[in-house]
Amino acid sequence: MPALLRIELLGARTGRTGGPAAADEAFADLHDLVLDTARNLDVAQSLVGDLDGEGCTIVCPVPKRRWRSVAVFRRAWLEPRTPDEPRMWLRGVIVDGRDGRAPRAQVPSDELAGIQESRWNGAAFEAMAVLRAGWRGMRLLVADSVLTDPLRGMFRIPLGRLGVIPFRRMNHTPYPGPLARGFQDLMWMAEVRQ
C-alpha cells in the first residue's frame, strides 16, 4: 500500500520569519532538505510528489521503504544551524496513499488558455485536513490505517530483552476533534537502525 507524506513548515506564513522574502527562503530551504533527503533513499526513482508554497507532498509506493521519510524530520532538527540559518520547525502527517498517483494534477482551463487548474487527490486532501485540524508542535502523525504489525516490528528499537515501538497515542497532548481517533504520533526523534 502506498503512503502519502505531507510536511509543512511551521511559522513561515505567519510572518515570524521576517516577511515574504524570508518566507520564500525558508520554503526553498525546506524543498532543498526534502529533495536532498529523498535523493539519498533507495526508492528515490519511485517517488512522486509536489513541492508547493506551503510545504511538500510525497507519495512512496514501496511499503517497507516509505518510512525513511522520517529522516527529513531528524535532519531538520539535528543538523547544525547558525544564527543566519535557523532551525526548521516541521509538522507532518502520513496517510494511506491509496492508488499511488501524484498528489496533484494540473489541467489547462477550458475557459482561459493561460490558466491552469490544480486538483489535489483524495489522499492529499485528507493529509491537508489533518494538518489544519488544530494540533500543535513539531510532530509527525500517522494514520492507523497504514500501521501494520510488520511495520511496527520494523520500527522496534531493542532495549535489552524488551523493545520500544515509536508509534504512540499521546496521553497528555490533545488530538483535536477530527483526530480524536485514527492517528498516532511517530516518535521521529527515536533512532531506528534500518
Work out the number of other CB atoms within 10 angstroms of the CB of residue 28: 11
- Give the SS3 label for residue 180: coil
Domain assignments of the chain as residue spans, ordered by start: 3-106+118-186
- Residues (pLDDT < 70) of the chain are 12-17, 62-69, 191-194
CA trace torsion 72, 165, 140, 88 (10° rounding): -40
pLDDT at 57: 92
Count the Cβ atoms, other than its own, within 10 Å of residue 191.
Answer: 9
pTM of the shown model:
0.86
> SS3 for 16?
coil
Check residue 142 and give its pLDDT: 92
* pLDDT computed for residue 108 by the predictor: 86
**Tell me, what's the pLDDT at 69?**
65
CATH 1.10.10.10 fits 3-106+118-186, yes or no: no
Q: What is the pLDDT of residue 37?
A: 87
- The three-state secondary structure class of 79 is coil
